[in-house]
Amino acid sequence: MHRYPVLPEGIAYGGDYNPEQWPEETWHEDVRLMREAGVNLVSLGVFAWGLLEPAEGVYDFAWLDRVLDLLQENGIKVNLATPTASPPPWFRRAHPGARLVDQQGRVVSGGSRHGFCPSSPEYARAAARITERLAERYATHPAVVMWHVHNEYGWANAACYCEVSQEHFRRWLRERYGTLEALNAAWGTTFWGLRHGAWDEIEAPRNPAPGLIPALQLDFQRFCVEAHIELFRAEREVIRRFSDLPVTTNFMIANCKPMDYWRWAAEVDVVSNDHYLQAERPGNHIELAMCADLTRSVAGGSPWMLMEHSTGAVNWQPRNLAKRPGEMRRNSLAHVARGSDSVLFFQWRASRFGAEKFHSAMVPHAGPDSRLWREVVALGRDVRRLAGVRGGRVAAEVAILWDWESWWALELDWRPSVDLDFRERVEAYYEALWREHVTVDFAHPGADLSRYKLVVAPSAYLLTQEAGKNLRRHVESGGHLLVSYFSGIADEHDTIHPGPYPGALRDVLGLTVEEFHPLAERASVPVSGGLTGRVWSERVRPAGARAVRTFEGGPDAGHPAVTQHDLGEGVAWYVATAPGDLRGLLAEVLDAAGVDRPRGLPDTLELVRRGRHLFLINHGEEPVTVEGVTGVALLDGRACDGSVTVPGGDVVVVAAPDR
């Protein structure tokens, strides 16, 4: 179920507010500035456990009462956090058994956040207690409109390797498999004679030896996700006893490999995400778009919330580049274009002390007499003008398959090549589609794919037979499918499907793969049609498919590199290498699939339709004119009558006329 926070205005604008770091006089300046910028929502108390409960069972809510009242008086609503991501130092001392143990078996030291064991009953009890106090006290406070449980589950403690966690893992396995016979069969333990004869013979992968049972590693990852979800559920249920307001927790989509957000999304009332730009990376706005699309997709297409991003530099990258003028605005509005109903930042006011003091904020150390503050105020105005965008949905004709389990499995040790990289392949295809101005959804391989003209599987190593059948149904009923190499190989236990590769996709692709020929580092092979293949080559044997490109060199010279297979009403394509330039090939597939897209626009223009709003974000320096656009440009009130020009670096949002 997805429900929305009840906000006074359209799009939520604001961020994490940490008044506890400031004297009370500053709070008054804060609310004055918040009003100036049009802030209407703040996340409060995210890391305040040690201040709300200064000693076990001793509470101090007086300051939070005053902050909440002050915000309410100023018309600013609150996303009230449970502070459980940062247990206080007293908790650590009182409960040494709840300390996080790393993969080398070392206790992680205190003095930071997230240093607890996710399987610790003491932690769960303490977290439930502070949550209960907060929920009973503030459930009916008029400023509170939603709940922000915890912060980024798994940020530093995705897995704990203590004895308590190990026991929890065994209990979880017992529930999953029922019997040791079933577990041994699933894990393939006849290999190296690693048959387990008792549950307590099973060890979590602490300090793992090379060649550890792959299925054990996958199950441990699954278990870790569930351990965190159990904690979330427990807090959510405490809140539910007092409040019906929406409950969320902020994700780190695509940037937290250990957390399977398909599973997480089912637990929250509204999906929310934190996104930080990879400052030094060229084309980082494309990675941003990908994360926004993935967030919308795990939300089932419903609007979601951008819970955190930054006004400028972060503090944790090797070189923390500031955003250029206009970049924050383009970033924020790109999230809105792709389904976010909020523009929220970490954080409101830059800290003077602590680990994140060089992180940007809405109010920088320079204060309001600064370029950054002026941009924050201007963005607040833009956001208010976009109120009507709220709730709008983004329609996509193309889906990319994304599966965290397959990501884990692909990147376990001892694969045919260390260059097999889930994100690299997904991003390569995503980027080519972005540059073709095609909006994409992401989809789980088992999901209903019927609304897509084209489904792309850039890296679907782990693919169950059921998922393979799902893809086959998609093609038979008229869809196109584009699959990249080393997909459909293994099942959920990392056991290779019977018969020749790719077991889960042979029928739909109309081929088999006789042998893999991974390429040497930096080596490439020529492919017909002017392509160059990197990373991978393999011996494809058509069985119904026809070659549309051929390897012209390397171990598979003369054999198919790209194939096409007509099946039922649709077509399945296969790409047996990593083409240096994907765009030409993709354009061919998009045309064949009948995917509609604008032509002749520069590939620096981001173009997304959300409901009746067209977002045009110009990441280039030159102005771009787009024809065929009619309506009102909401950010400056201009009427567009058949065309619109977007100046370099600028954003235009056109509302189509009401029909």
Task: Identify whether the C-beta of residue 573 lies closer than 8 Å to the C-beta of residue 563.
Answer: yes
Nearest by Cα to 583 from 528, 526, 525, 531: 531
Task: Count CA atoms within 13 Å of residue 234 on its CB side.
Answer: 21
In the shown chain, the binding pattern of residues 96 to 115 toward ligand GAL, with x for contact by CB under 6 A and - for none, equals --------------------
Q: Which of 359, 423, 444, 613 forms a contact with ligand GAL (CB under 6 A)?
A: 359
Q: Count interface residues toward ligand GAL (CB under 6 A).
A: 9
Q: Which is nearer to ligand GAL, 269 or 308 (CB)?
A: 308
Q: How far is the CB of 346 from ligand GAL (least distance, A)?
A: 4
Tokens for 492, please give them: 């959920």
Per-residue interface string for the shown chain with ligand GAL, residues 292-311, x marking contact by CB under 6 A: ----------------x---
Beta strands 12-17 and 41-44: pairing type? parallel
Q: Does 344 bind ligand GAL (CB under 6 A)?
A: no
Give the nearer residue to ligand GAL in terms of CB position, either 79 or 151: 151
Rounded to an integer, what distance in angstroms lies between the CA atom of residue 597 and that of residue 590? 9
Contact by Cβ (8 Å): 634, 657: no
> Which has the closest alpha carbon to 5: 244, 225, 186, 256?
244
Name the residue among 283, 266, 336, 267 with its Cα closest to residue 306.
336
Nearer to ligand GAL, 276 or 402 (CB): 276
Total Cβ atoms within 10 A of residue 261: 23
By annotation, the residues acting in catalysis are 152, 308
Rounded to the nearest whole angstrom, what is the least distance from the CB of residue 291 to ligand GAL in the complex?
13
Position 274 contacts ligand GAL (CB under 6 A): yes
Nearer to ligand GAL, 16 or 494 (CB): 16
308 or 538, CB closer to ligand GAL? 308
Contact with ligand GAL (CB under 6 A): which of 100, 314, 376, 508?
A: 314
From the list 49, 123, 251, 276, which residue makes contact with ligand GAL (rule: CB under 6 A)?
276
Position of minimal CB gap to ligand GAL:
346
Cα distance between residue 127 and residue 231, in whole Å:
9
Element at 540 (helix H, strand E)? strand 538-542
43 scored as a contact of ligand GAL (CB under 6 A):
no
For 583, phi then psi, to 5°, come to -65, -40
Nearer to ligand GAL, 346 or 408 (CB): 346
CB 493 within 8 A of CB 188: yes
Q: Quick one: which of 13, 116, 161, 346 contacts ligand GAL (CB under 6 A)?
A: 346
Spell out, one character per residue from 126 to 165, where the chain touches ligand GAL: x when CB under 6 A holds, - when not: -------------------------xx-------------
Per CB under 6 A, the list member of 20, 29, 136, 356 interacting with ligand GAL is: 356
Question: According to the 3-state scheme, what is the secondary structure of 305-363?
Answer: EEEECCCCCCCCCCCCCCCCCCHHHHHHHHHHHCCECEEEECCCECCCCCCCCCCCCCE
Report the nearest approach of ligand GAL to the CB of residue 138 (Å).
21
Number of helical (H) and strand (E) elements in the chain, helices listed first? 17, 26
- Residue ranges that bind ligand GAL, judged by CB under 6 A: 151-152, 274, 276, 308, 314, 346, 356, 359
